[in-house]
Amino acid sequence: YVDLWQTVRVVQSAIGKHYGATGFNVAVQDGATAGQSVPHVHVHILPRNAGDFERNDDVYDELQDWAPRPDMTTTSKPKLEVPDDQDRKDRTTDQMAEEAATYRQVLDNPEG
């Protein structure tokens, strides 16, 4: 795994310099239900710049609609509903602690 993520960082640096990116979306989709359409490991590295989308999360709609060729586009894809930043609710410290405790328990007992 280390080689994969070291390579991601090298690619980020190279395309960041090439495109003048000030940030990146880095994504791995694991399994068909997560949107993985090619059954092998690969990482999506998307160069980003401030203001490249009206809403920062509009990038996900663009990704959902993207196809490598015009004849591959479809209008039947559902849109990802993402709330506007001002409508998002931060989790409380207690909620985050509860979530961390759950993950800790899962990691400490991987057999179930």
Point out the residues that are catalytic: 42
Listed in sequence order, the DSSP H helices in the chain are 2-19, 58-65, 93-108
Sign of the Cα torsion 13, 44, 55, 93 reads negative
Residue 37: in which H helix or E strand, if any?
none
Q: How far apart are CA 16 and CA 45, in angstroms?
A: 10
